[in-house]
């Protein structure tokens, strides 16, 4: 049948004392190591120290320790015969009716694992020899990306196409170990002593993932900035690692089916830098100025601008300068002059409305407004 779970949960010193010979994950692995063969730990190596044995072949009665954060995969002739995602100690026993082929656990990925198991499981009775491999179930960080030239996307907030050179890093997670190993990991890595590492420069499969991420950046930026739920703000990208990770994960799924075909997902993204092109920089400056003139802050800025203009006109042009300011204020809806559509001077409502606008902008005092009101209403 397969595996018998001897101890569940993290393995403590007592089990290490009881099990002098067992298979487990090798020591000294890179944090980004994803798939690697199990190694034997024996009495000659000492407690807690892995041997340098290269064989990962187990037989009936072999004991295996699955560390926290890893899943165990068993193979026979290229077919998957067993899987265990629950940490603990196991015994491989092919002829025991109490043994099981899969221990998926109760985590979020267990339904995916169970589904893939039914799809790829070994069809017959497992033989006496199995090849044991471990798959990382942890978040695998420090997968870096960068663009050598500008990428362009349609920006929902700026309402135009923008461009930038960007670099950063993303965190991967193997959400379906069976699917990942079966569909993506090259057979050359399913050998004793080999390690499938996402950051290995000589790993062509990992290099392909890098290229696909870079190719998905522009669609991801477009998804993020066109999502009303994220405020459509391009400037939020560097502060929203989880939000942009969802956009990037969706982009690579749409284009390359990472999750559905490979059992992979991007869970976090850190944007280290975004260098916008010249046109985008000018657009962002315009947006910043518009933001500064919006709402109550805009009223304050307008009052300051009018006051400064009055002061400059008085210094440079005397009364003529002040008349010019009055005309300009009228064009902005601040002064008393406007297009002669109707005889506003004879309309008390129009007089009061204009006076109220000037009062709100701080151009006249409450006493001035009260005087205009009294005169307009013949009080």
**Domain span at 21:** 2-137
How far are the Cα atoms of 12, 106, 293, 303, 364 from residue 297, in angstroms, in the given order?
Answer: 62, 53, 6, 10, 19
Name 55's Cβ contacts closer than 8 Å, sequence gap at least 6. Answer: 40, 192
Are 207 and 169 members of one domain? yes
Are 92 and 146 members of one domain? no
Q: How much is the pLDDT for 114?
A: 81
The length of the chain in residues reads: 379
Q: How many domains does the chain have?
A: 2
H or E segment to which residue 5 belongs: strand 2-8
CA distance 47 to 61: 20
Are 166 and 110 members of one domain? no
Are 82 and 154 members of one domain? no
Contact predicate 334/352, CB 8 Å: no
Are 149 and 275 members of one domain? yes
Are 169 and 128 members of one domain? no
CA distance 179 to 259: 9
User: Checking DSSP bridges between strand 63-66 and strand 70-76, what pairing results, if any?
Assistant: unpaired
CA distance 138 to 177: 11
CA distance 100 to 368: 90
Closest C-alpha to 40, from 64, 71, 59, 14: 64
The SS3 of residue 379 is: coil
35 by Cβ neighbours in 10 Å (0-12 / 13-18 / 19+) ranks as buried
- Calculate what percentage of the chain has a pLDDT beyond 70: 75
Question: Tens-digit pLDDT profile for the chain (379 aa)?
Answer: 689 888 877 665 556 567 778 999 998 888 899 999 999 986 544 444 544 555 889 998 999 999 999 999 999 888 888 999 889 899 998 878 888 888 877 665 677 788 888 888 777 677 778 999 999 999 999 898 888 889 998 887 778 888 999 999 999 999 999 999 999 999 999 999 899 999 888 999 999 999 999 999 999 988 888 887 766 566 677 778 788 888 999 999 999 999 999 999 999 988 888 898 998 888 888 877 776 666 554 455 555 555 555 555 555 555 444 444 444 444 444 444 444 444 445 577 777 778 787 777 667 788 888 888 778 777 6
Residue 263 in domain: yes
Are 173 and 40 members of one domain? no
Instruction: Give 4-35 pLDDT, tens digit per residue.
Output: 888 877 665 556 567 778 999 998 888 899 99
Contact predicate 255/212, CB 8 Å: yes
Which string of DSSP letters, residue by residue, matches 65-106?
EE-TTEEEEEEETTEEEEEE-S-EEEEEETT-TT-BSEE--S
State whether the Cα torsion 69-260-198-164 is positive or negative.
negative
Residue 130 in domain: yes
The 3-state secondary structure of 178-194 reads HHHHHHCCCHHHCCCCC
H or E segment to which residue 367 belongs: helix 366-376
Phi, psi of 161 (to 5 degrees): -85, 135
Instruction: Give 261-293 pLDDT, tens digit per residue.
Output: 999 999 998 888 889 899 888 888 887 777 666
CA distance 131 to 57: 5
Are 271 and 165 members of one domain? yes
Please give the angle made by the CA atoms of 184, 188 and 190, to the nearest 5 degrees: 75
Beta bridge partners of 151: 164
Residue 311 in domain: no
Residue 77 in domain: yes
Phi, psi of 250 (to 5 degrees): -65, -40
Residue 55 in domain: yes
- CATH code, domain carrying 232: 3.30.479
């Amino acid at each position: 049948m397969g595996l018998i779970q001897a101890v569940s949960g993290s393995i403590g010193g007592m089990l290490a004392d009881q099990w002098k010979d067992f298979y487990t994950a090798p020591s000294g692995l890179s944090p980004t190591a994803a798939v690697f063969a199990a190694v034997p730990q024996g009495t000659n190596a000492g407690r807690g120290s892995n041997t340098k044995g290269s064989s990962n072949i187990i037989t009936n009665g072999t004991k295996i320790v699955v560390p926290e954060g890893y899943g165990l995969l068993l193979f026979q002739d290229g077919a998957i015969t067993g899987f265990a995602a629950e940490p603990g100690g196991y015994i491989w026993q092919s002829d025991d009716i109490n043994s099981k082929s899969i221990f998926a656990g109760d985590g979020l990925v267990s339904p995916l694992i169970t589904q893939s198991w039914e799809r790829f499981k070994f069809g017959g009775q497992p033989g006496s020899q199995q090849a044991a491999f471990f798959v990382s179930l942890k978040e695998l960080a420090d997968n870096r990306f960068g663009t050598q030239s500008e990428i362009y996307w349609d920006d929902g907030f700026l309402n135009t196409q923008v461009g930038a050179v960007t670099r950063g890093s993303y965190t991967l997670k193997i959400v379906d170990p069976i699917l990942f190993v079966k569909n993506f990991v090259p057979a050359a890595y399913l050998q004793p002593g080999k390690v499938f590492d996402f950051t290995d420069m000589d790993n062509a499969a990992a290099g392909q993932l890098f290229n696909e991420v870079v190719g998905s950046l522009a669609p991801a930026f477009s998804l993020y900035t066109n999502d009303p739920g994220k405020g459509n703000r391009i400037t939020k990208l560097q502060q929203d690692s989880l939000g942009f990770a969802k956009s990037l994960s969706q982009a690579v799924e749409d284009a390359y089916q990472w999750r559905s075909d490979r059992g992979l997902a991007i869970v976090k993204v850190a944007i280290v830098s975004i260098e916008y092109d010249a046109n985008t920089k000018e657009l962002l400056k315009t947006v910043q100025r518009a933001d500064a003139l919006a709402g109550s802050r805009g009223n304050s800025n307008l009052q300051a601008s009018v006051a400064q203009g009055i002061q400059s006109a008085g210094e440079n042009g005397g009364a003529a300068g002040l008349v010019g300011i009055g005309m300009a204020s009228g064009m902005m809806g601040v002064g008393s002059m406007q297009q002669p559509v109707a005889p506003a001077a004879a309309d008390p409502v129009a007089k009061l409305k204009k006076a109220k606008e000037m009062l709100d902008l701080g151009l006249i005092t409450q006493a001035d407004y009260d005087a205009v009101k009294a005169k307009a209403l013949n009080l």
